Structure 1
Amino acid sequence: MSQSGDHPLAWRVWTIPNLVTMIRLCGIPVFCYLLLATDEVVAAVIVLAVGGGTDWVDGFLARRLRQESRFGQLLDPLVDRLYILVAIAVLTLVQLVPWQFTAVLLAREAVMLVVLLILRSRGFAPFEVHYTGKTATFIVFMSFPVLVLAGLYEPAAGWALPLGWALAWWGIVLYWLSAAIYVGQAVILLRRRSQVVA
C-alpha cells in the first residue's frame, strides 16, 4: 500500500477498461427495474449474472491493453460493492434471502469501511484488491442470480436452491477471510507507522 499522494498510475478516465466498468454500473438500475417492476425474471438474472460475472474483464483489459489507471482502481471495487449491496438489498426486499444472511454480509462491509476510514485518517491509500477478496466477491455475485432463479422461476428451483446457497455461504466465508487479511495488513501498517513515529 502506498501513501496518499503517491500514486504511480495516471488518473485516466476515458479508457476501454473504465468504459467496461461504467457499462457494468449501468446494469444495476436495469436489474432493479426488471426484478421489481416487471415479470422478466430470466432477463433480470441475465443482467445480474453478466454484470457481476464480468468483474474480471475490466481488470484483464487494463493489464492487457496497458491502460491501468488510478480512476479504474477506485471505480472497479466501488462498482463491485454497489452490485453486492444493491443486489442483497433487493433480494432481501423480495424475501429471497433471510435478513440474517444480509446482516452477515453487511457486517463485513461495515468492518472494511471502518478499516478504510482509519487508514485514510493516517494518510494511507486504499488497499490493493487481494486475490481472496476478488474470488469471494465473484462467488457471492454468482450466488445472487441463482437464488433469484430458485425463488422466482419454479422450473429451476430443484437445482438452483441448493447451488445458490452453497455458493452464497462459500462466498461469505471467503468474504470474511479476505476481511481478516485486510485487517491484518492494516494492523501491520499502523504498527510500522507508530514505530517510526516513536
Structure 2
Amino acid sequence: MLTVPNALSALRLVGVPVFLWAILSERDGLAVVLLMASGLTDYLDGKIARTYGLVSRVGQLLDPIADRLYIVSTLLGLAWREIIPWWLVAVLFAREAFMAVVVLIAKRHGWVGLPVHFAGKAATFNLLYAFPLLLLADGDGTLSRIAEPVGWAFAWWGTALYWVAGILYALQLRALLQVRRVDAA
C-alpha cells in the first residue's frame, strides 16, 4: 500500500546502508543528519498514519524493521569506533533475542504481532536520540562536552525502557495465552 507513512518507512530503510557507510568512514556530520532524520521520520510516519487513518500492515512491518536496522547499524558502528562499549551492544542485542523468542511464541499461537506499547516507542525515541548525541560527543569542544552527558542519559533511559517494553510484551503474550487456555477449557 503506497501511503506517505509507508514511503517514510521505506525511505528510512534506504538510509540504513548510507548511514552505516557514513559512520564507518567517519563522516560524522552526515551520520548525525541521517540519524536525526530517521528519528524524525519515525515519529512522523506513525503520527500521520494514526491521524489520517493510514495504518497498514505494510507500515506495521516496515516501521519496526527500519527501527531495528538503524539501532543495530548504529550500535555496531559506534562500538566499532569505540564510542560506546561492547557490553552495551550485548545488553541491547540480548533484548532483541528475548523479543525474537516472544514473537516466535506469539506466531506459533497464531498472532502475527503484539500491539505496540508506549514504552517501546519511548525506548526507540531515546535510543535514536542517544546515538547522534554520543556521536557528537566524540570530539573536542563545547558541543561535545554538552552532548556526552545528554547522550548517555538518553542511552540509559532508552536501554531501561527497551527492556521494560520487552517484559511488557512478554506479559501481554502470557495474558493472551491464559485467556486462550480459559476459553479452551
2:22 pairs with one of 34, 37, 57: 34
TM-score in terms of structure 2 length: 0.94
Kept in 1: contact 2:126–2:154 (CA 8 A): yes
Kept in 2: contact 1:27–1:48 (CA 8 A): no
- CA shift, 1:132, in A, is 1.1
Report runs of 4+ in structure 1 exceeding 4 Å deviation: none
Kept in 1: contact 2:130–2:152 (CA 8 A): yes
Amino acid at match of 1:34: A
Aligned partners of 1:52, 1:114: CA distance in 2, in Å?
A: 26
Pairing 1:194–2:184 present: no
1:115 pairs with one of 102, 105, 110: 102
1:158 pairs with one of 145, 149, 154: 145
| Root-mean-square deviation over aligned CA pairs | 1.3
Amino acid at match of 2:3: T
> Secondary structure of the residue that 2:98 maps to in structure 1?
helix
Aligned residues: 184
Give the 5 Å matches for 1:68-107.
Answer: 68-107=55-94
Aligned partners of 1:117, 1:55: CA distance in 2, in Å?
A: 25
2:52 pairs with one of 24, 46, 65: 65
- CA shift, 1:54, in A, is 2.6
Identity score, percent: 43
The corresponding residue for 2:172 is 185
Aligned partners of 2:22, 2:48: CA distance in 1, in Å?
A: 29
2:6 pairs with one of 18, 22, 37: 18
Structure 2: segments with no counterpart, 5+ residues: none
The corresponding residue for 2:119 is 132
Amino acid at match of 2:140: E
Q: Deviations over 1:12-36 (max 9, x none)?
A: x211110111111111111111222
- CA shift, 1:185, in A, is 0.4
